[in-house]
């Protein structure tokens, strides 16, 4: 017997498959509604975004599916045709790639962040300043991947300080696939130091901030939010895009250490 699936079931099956492939949390137990807004957000925003999604769902009675990860990977998923409606990127470069491809309907600078040097709790290698990264006590330093925004900024800082080539030559740098994995390496004491966003350090009980890098030593850390073309047909995507820019949402971001870009 031939089984014919209704268009809505075909859509939901395809959506579930894509969300599971991307690793979006919770979809195994909570099947997305057909009109759910699909939001891709940089890993560094996940705690704040979870709070904002909860608030929005409570106020509107609708569903938002949140997926987080490295901005470069999320941007590639969007370019490959993912059904995402809204994208929060951790840098302008990957947002620009989406805009230039004609996939975005609107874009707004949303947040800013800072870059910090952090160590595991207790600072076992006694790192006091960036130049200490060259010391013999520091064997491994965690930064995010070379195409990940946090990794791009970290490399810019290390080059500006004249440290990058030396650290590479002695194989001290350990790259995380996103800033959250980078932070995990530091929290676990698998490295003696690392470079992450100030917001990640603020939300962690397992690291100590040694110093904040001069914003002039790296590109401006700006988080744009994009309403994607797929969001035009989704009745909740534009309202959620606008909600992210609201005072209520900005207060949540600020409570996690972000600063508004406006």
List the binding residues for molybdate.
44, 71, 150, 179, 197
Burial of residue 37 (CB within 10 Å: 0-12, 13-18, 19+) is: buried
Beta strands in the chain (DSSP E): 37-42, 64-69, 86-88, 104-112, 115-120, 141-144, 173-176, 193-197, 207-212, 222-228, 259-260
CA distances from 9 to 3, 17, 27, 230 (A): 12, 12, 15, 18
CA distances from 259 to 81, 172, 223, 239 (A): 31, 32, 10, 22
Q: Are 44 and 199 in contact (CB under 8 A)?
A: yes
Residues of each annotated binding site: 44, 71, 150, 179, 197
């Amino acid at each position: 017997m031939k089984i014919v699936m209704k268009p809505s079931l075909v859509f939901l099956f395809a959506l579930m498959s894509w969300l599971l492939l991307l690793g979006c949390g919770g979809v195994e137990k909570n099947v997305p509604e057909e009109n759910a807004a699909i939001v891709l957000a940089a890993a560094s925003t996940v705690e704040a975004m979870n709070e904002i999604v909860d608030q929005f769902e409570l106020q509107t009675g609708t569903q938002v599916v949140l997926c987080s990860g490295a901005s470069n990977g999320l941007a590639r998923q969007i370019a490959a045709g993912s059904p995402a409606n809204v994208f929060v990127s951790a840098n302008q470069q990957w947002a620009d790639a989406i805009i230039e491809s004609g996939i975005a309907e609107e874009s707004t600078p949303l947040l800013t962040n800072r870059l910090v040097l952090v160590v595991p709790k207790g600072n076992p290698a006694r790192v006091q300043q960036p130049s200490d990264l060259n010391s013999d006590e520091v064997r491994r330093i965690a930064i995010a991947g070379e195409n990940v925004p946090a990794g791009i900024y970290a490399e810019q800082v290390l080059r500006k300080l004249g440290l990058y080539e030396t650290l590479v030559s002695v194989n001290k740098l350990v790259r995380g696939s996103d800033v959250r994995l980078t932070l995990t390496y530091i929290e676990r004491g698998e490295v003696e130091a690392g470079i992450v966003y100030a917001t990640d350090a603020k939300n962690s009980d397992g690291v100590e901030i040694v110093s904040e890098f001069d914003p002039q030593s790296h590109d401006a850390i700006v988080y744009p939010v994009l309403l994607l073309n797929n969001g035009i047909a989704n009745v909740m995507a534009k309202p959620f895009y606008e909600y992210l820019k609201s005072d209520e949402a900005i207060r949540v971001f600020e409570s996690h250490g972000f600063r508004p870009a406006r």
